[in-house]
Structures are given as structure tokens and as C-alpha cells.
Amino acid sequence: MAITGVRTPPQVHRFPQSKYIDAVRWLPPLSPLSKLAVLAIYDTDADSPSLETHSISLPASLTPHSQWTPPTRISSLSTSHQSLVAASTLSGSLHVLSSAMQVLLSVDENSGFHVGPISGVDLTGSECVSVGEDGRVNLVSVIGGGEFKRVYDGNGLVGFNCVKWASPTEFVTGGFGYGLQWWDLRRAGSGGPVLQFKGNFGSQGKASGMIHSVDIHPSRKHTCLAGGSSGTVFAWDLRWQQQSIVLSGVGTGEAVTHSLSESEVWEVQYDCHTKSSNISSSRVLPAMFCSEDGILAVVEQGEEPFELLAEPCAINSFDIDPQNPSDVICSLEWESIAIVSRP
């Protein structure tokens, strides 16, 4: 076991925004002295959404950089290493922008792209995959000029909440009933996911739950990390498809020992800042999650979880800085941004 007793508490900087923050993501910095983040903002009073980049220099300043007005409220946000931002909206359109908020590509909601809101997008390289509650899975190529390719149409019989690329041809989606689906574009002819998993963490009183977020580590694409209802964070290893490794949650399984949260886990990400004491390939890498009950914490298989933040309001999204993984940006329900700098 690693030494978990003494941990220097992280530094937390808070930035009240006076507008609701739907999502946050880091972007590669413009200058070495400051950081850059993209915020999906919604002004409730004026009923106007916006996508803004802010440059951040700690400890104290968050300055708006550039901004763009999407047609409707942003539902999901994804950034790539090439400083591209993919934003999907509640009306069902998808937009790819540069970090200077120049629109490179838009897919209109009227083009038969999605029906209703897009619930998840993931951008990698030049490919963007989008999923919705309508059960559609679409691919958009950044260099393709607004054309999309339908991978699957669930006709509303299934719905997806989130999506994440595993490789240039494979991705994983998550949705209702703690369900995970593994897709392979090389075997797209079969017209559906290649593998499926349905979690059974039903605790007393609750029949099932949802997956809100999935993540895949680039070096271990066979393990999907997922987070959802009832504080559940688990890993699904494709090599042992029928079972899952529960990292946190209120499930009934005897393996569950720690649970920091009992409500919705809104986002999960592998945390490369926390060094695992055991790096065997059968162990799940450390993971970070944020929840409706205001917890931002790191969980690891077989270790005590630890909290980075315990807020009086929900933490709706977070992102670990890929350039400097000690820094985490999160959006809080009470119209503010918090930046956590770990020692």
C-alpha cells in the first residue's frame, strides 16, 4: 500500500463567473506563462450560450480571450492535442473550432444528423464521434467539410450519454442501465456494437443507473473507465468482458469497500498525476471523478480514495491538464470555476 496518510492539501483557486458553466476543458497554452481553457457558458438571464477561451495565470487571474456564440446551449465539449475544440449543442448541431474560436466546421441539426440533443462528443486527430439519446452514432471528419457518416441508428430504442475513442477505429459508448458498448469501425457492417456490457450494481431501492462519462487510457485501450449513477466508478476490461472492477460506488458487491459519493458521477478521467504503487497490467490505473454531491476525488483499485475538493454544490465537469497533470479545472454548479493545483 502506498503512503496515503500524509498528503499535502492541494491549492484551490476559485473564480466566480456569474454565469452557468456547462463544461470545461484545457487547451494547449498560447504562451509558456499562462494556461488556456475553454468554457461552455450559459447566461440564464439573457438565455444566451457562449463558448469562451480564458487564459489563466495562477494564482489569481482568469481573463477572457476569445469567444463564439453557438446556436443553442452546449451539451458536450471535447478538445484535441491539435488545439481543436469540438462542441455539440442541445439542438443537435456539432461545431469544430480552433482555439481562437474560429469555426472550422459545422454540422447543422437539420441535416438529419441527430434528433434532439447530442449528449457526447469525442475528438481525436481529425475524427469526431458524436452520440445522442436518439441512439445515433455519427462520425465527422474535421477535414471533410461538414459531411457526416452514420455508424449506427438506434431509432431511440437505445440512447447513449457519452463516447470516447480507444484507437483510430475503435471507441466506447455508455448509456442507460450501466451499459457500455464497444464499437469497431472495421466491423461496422454488422450494424451494431461489437461488444456490450451491462453493469449490475443495483442497490436497494434503485433498479439501475446511467453511465455519464467514459475514459480510455492511451496505453491500455482494453480497459474502459466509466462513471455514473449512485457514485459508481468502475472499469470494464475487454479481456474479462462479463465482469467489472468497481472502484467506487454504493453497490452491493462485496468488493466495494470505499464510496465517497452516493449521487451522480458526472465525469471520470484517468489521473496520470497520481502515481500508482502497483503497475501490473491487471490493475486499473488511478482515476479521478467529480460528482453531484460536490466531490472531486481520486480512486484507485485497492487503495483508500482521497478527496481533492468537497464543495457544498455539485461539480459538473472537470479536466486534468494534459500538459501539467497536477492542475485540474472544474466547473461548479454555483456559477464558478475552481482550479486545483496539486503539489
Partner 1 sequence: MSGENQGGAIVPYSEEAKKPVVYPLRHGLKPPISRLGISWSRGNSLRVTVFRQPSEDSENEVGGKAVEVRLDGRDGEISDAQWRRIAYGSVSPFALLQSRKNSFASLSKISSTTSPFDAEWWEYVLEYSKDISSLLGNQTSTTQSLIEDPKEVLKDPEPSNLKAAWELMESFYADKLSQAWLPERLVDWLADYDSLFSSTQETVHSKLVDFQKDLVSLQVIEDEPKYWEVMSSALAVGWLDIVVKLLRLHGSYQLDQLGNRETENGLVEAVAVLISKMPRMRPELEAGKLGECFKAKPDFMKAWEKWRAQIAKLECSTFWIQCAHRQTQEGLRNMLQIMLGNTNNLCTLTCHWMELYIAHFLYIRPFTVGLESMYGLAQKCIQLKPMAASHRLMGLLIGILGENIEVVLAECSKGFGPWMVTHAIEVLTAGSHQADTLLHEERDNLGGISMEELHRLVYAQVLSSHPLTWQIAPIYLTSCIKQGMGLLEMLLYKQPVDHNQLLLKNLEICRLYELDSVSSNIMKIAGMYNWKHGKKGSGVYWLQQARDEARLNRIAQQMFDSVGRSISDENFRQWEGLIQLLGSEPKTAGGLEFLHNYRDFKKSLLQIRDGKTTDAARQAVESLISLMKNPCTPQRFWLPLLHDSLKLLNWEERPLLNVLQTNLLLNKLQELSIARLRPDFIEADLPPHALSSVRLALATNLGRTTLEEQ
Site residues (vs partner 1, CB under 8 A):
16, 18-20, 44-45, 90, 115-117, 119, 133-135, 153-159, 161, 175-177, 179, 181, 190-193, 196, 198, 200, 205-208, 210, 229, 262-264, 266, 292-293, 312-314, 316, 333-335
Provide the minimum distance between the beta carbon of 140 and partner 1 in the complex, in angstroms, as a whole number: 22
Minimum CB distance to partner 1 smaller for 122 or for 133? 133
Distance between CA atoms of residues 291 and 38, nearest Å: 21
Minimum CB distance to partner 1 smaller for 301 or for 335? 335
Minimum CB distance to partner 1 smaller for 193 or for 286? 193
Minimum CB distance to partner 1 smaller for 292 or for 303? 292
Q: Which residues pair with 163 in a beta bridge?
A: 173
DSSP string, 145-162: SS-EEEEEE-TTSS-EEE
Provide the minimum distance between the beta carbon of 70 and partner 1 in the complex, in angstroms, as a whole number: 16
User: Is the Cβ–Cβ distance between 84 and 142 less than 8 Å?
Assistant: yes
Name the residue among 165, 126, 156, 118 with its Cα closest to residue 143.
126
Q: Which residues pair with 191 in a beta bridge?
A: none
Name the residue among 296, 335, 293 with its Cα closest to residue 314.
293
Provide the minimum distance between the beta carbon of 176 and partner 1 in the complex, in angstroms, as a whole number: 4
Cα–Cα distances in angstroms (integers) from residue 186 to residues 108, 128, 189, 193, in the given order: 27, 16, 8, 11
Provide the minimum distance between the beta carbon of 192 and partner 1 in the complex, in angstroms, as a whole number: 5
Provide the minimum distance between the beta carbon of 245 and partner 1 in the complex, in angstroms, as a whole number: 20
Minimum CB distance to partner 1 smaller for 177 or for 302? 177
Retrieve residue 146's grid coordinates: 461538414
